[in-house]
Structure 1
Amino acid sequence: MMNSSLNKANLTALPPLALYIHFPWCEKKCPYCDFNSHQIKEGAGVKSGFDEEQYINALIADLETELPRIWGRQVHSIFIGGGTPSLLSAQGMDRLISAIRARINLEPDAEITMEANPGSVETEKFAGFAKAGINRVSLGIQSFQDEQLKALGRIHNGSEAKRAIEIALKHFKSVNLDLMYGLPMQTLDDAKRDVETALSFKTPHLSFYNLTLEPNTYFASFPPKLPKEEVIDAIFEQNLELLSNAGYQRYEVSAYAKPGMECKHNLNYWRFGDYIGIGAGAHGKISFPDKITRQVRERHPETYMQNMETKGNALIEAREVPASDLPFEFMLNALRLTNGVATNTFTERTGLPLNVISKGLDEASKKGLLDPNPISLKATPLGLTYLNNVQEIFLN
Structure 2
Amino acid sequence: MIPIKPAAPETGAPRTPASAALQYLQPGALNLTALPPLSLYIHWPWCVRKCPYCDFNSHESNGPIPEQAYLDALRADLESSLPLIWGRKIHTVFIGGGTPSLMSAAGLERLMSDLRTLLPLDLDAEITMEANPGTFEADKFRQFRESGINRLSIGIQSFNGAHLQALGRIHDAREAIKAVEIAHATFDNFNLDLMYALPRQTLLEARQDIDTALSFAPPHLSLYHLTMEPNTVFAKYPPPLPDDDESADIQDMIFERMAGAGYQHYEVSAYARAGQRARHNLNYWNFGDYLGIGAGAHSKLSFPHRVLRQARYKQPQSFMDAARQGNAVSEEHEITRAEMGFEFMLNALRLSEGFDPNLFGERTGMTINAIDKPLNEAEAKGLITRDFKLIKPTELGQRFLNDLQEMFLGE
1:249 alignment partner in structure 2: 264
Q: Which is further off, 374-383 or 159-168?
A: 374-383
Which structure exhibits the higher relative contact order, with contacts defined as CA atoms closer than 8 Å and separated by 6 or more residues? 2
Query: Paired residue for 1:368, among 382, 401, 406?
Result: 382
1:193 and 2:214 matched: no
Letter in 2 for 1:355: N
State whether residues 25 and 371 of structure 2, in contact with CA within 8 Å, keep that contact through their aligned partners in structure 1: no
2:102 alignment partner in structure 1: 87
1:14 partner SS = coil
1:171 and 2:186 matched: yes
1:394 partner SS = helix
| CA RMSD between the two structures | 0.9
Structure 2: stretches of 5+ with no match in the other structure:
1-22
2:12 alignment partner in structure 1: none
1:233 and 2:254 matched: no
Cα distance in 2 between the residues matched to 1:244 and 1:354 = 32
Letter in 1 for 2:54: C
How many percent identity over aligned positions? 55
Structure 1 segments (4+ residues) deviating >6 Å: none
1:136 and 2:157 matched: no
Cα distance in 1 between the residues matched to 2:241 and 2:129 = 30
Q: Deviations over 1:154-185 (max 9, x none)?
A: 11011100100111112112110000000111
Cα distance in 1 between the residues matched to 2:28 and 2:67 = 44
Structure 1: stretches of 5+ with no match in the other structure:
none
Q: Deviations over 1:259-314 (max 9, x none)?
A: 110000000000000000000000000000010000000000011101112x2111
Query: Paired residue for 2:68, among 23, 35, 53?
Result: 53
Query: Paired residue for 1:181, among 190, 193, 196?
Result: 196
1:94 Cα deviation after fit: 0.7
Letter in 1 for 2:257: L
Alignment of 1:1-396 (within 5 A): 1=23, 4=26, 6-41=27-62, 44=63, 49-309=64-324, 311-396=325-410
State whether residues 174 and 204 of structure 1, in contact with CA within 8 Å, keep that contact through their aligned partners in structure 2: yes
Cα distance in 1 between the residues matched to 2:82 and 2:374 = 37
State whether residues 25 and 337 of structure 2, in contact with CA within 8 Å, keep that contact through their aligned partners in structure 1: no
1:371 partner SS = strand
Q: Deviations over 1:346-396 (max 9, x none)?
A: 000000111111111111101100113331121111001111111111112
Letter in 2 for 1:164: A
Cα distance in 1 between the residues matched to 2:236 and 2:402 = 24
Letter in 1 for 2:258: L
Cα distance in 2 between the residues matched to 1:169 and 1:285 = 33
Q: Deviations over 1:304-362 (max 9, x none)?
A: 101112x2111111111111100000000000000111110000000011111111111
State whether residues 228 and 234 of structure 2, in contact with CA within 8 Å, keep that contact through their aligned partners in structure 1: yes
1:378 partner SS = strand
Letter in 1 for 2:102: L
Letter in 2 for 1:375: K
1:286 partner SS = strand
2:217 partner SS = coil
State whether residues 312 and 319 of structure 2, in contact with CA within 8 Å, keep that contact through their aligned partners in structure 1: yes
Cα distance in 1 between the residues matched to 2:405 and 2:161 = 37
State whether residues 24 and 371 of structure 2, in contact with CA within 8 Å, keep that contact through their aligned partners in structure 1: no
2:385 partner SS = coil
Cα distance in 1 between the residues matched to 2:284 and 2:264 = 19
Cα distance in 2 between the residues matched to 1:353 and 1:212 = 35
State whether residues 77 and 265 of structure 1, in contact with CA within 8 Å, keep that contact through their aligned partners in structure 2: yes
Letter in 1 for 2:124: D
Cα distance in 2 between the residues matched to 1:132 and 1:362 = 50
Letter in 2 for 1:200: S
1:3 Cα deviation after fit: 5.9
Letter in 2 for 1:247: G
Q: Flag the 1:253–1:102 CA change in 2: closer, same or farther, 3 A.
A: same
Cα distance in 2 between the residues matched to 1:122 and 1:342 = 43
Cα distance in 2 between the residues matched to 1:354 and 1:168 = 43
State the aligned residue count: 388
Cα distance in 2 between the residues matched to 1:132 and 1:155 = 26
1:2 Cα deviation after fit: 5.2
Q: Deviations over 1:99-118 (max 9, x none)?
A: 00111110011000000000
Instruction: State the TM-score, normalized to the length of structure 2.
Output: 0.93
Letter in 1 for 2:349: L
Q: Deviations over 1:205-235 (max 9, x none)?
A: 0011011111100111111101111111100
Cα distance in 2 between the residues matched to 1:257 and 1:286 = 28
State whether residues 9 and 289 of structure 1, in contact with CA within 8 Å, keep that contact through their aligned partners in structure 2: yes
Cα distance in 2 between the residues matched to 1:338 and 1:241 = 15
Cα distance in 2 between the residues matched to 1:289 and 1:146 = 51
Cα distance in 1 between the residues matched to 2:32 and 2:24 = 18
Instruction: State the TM-score, normalized to the length of structure 1.
Output: 0.97
1:180 partner SS = strand
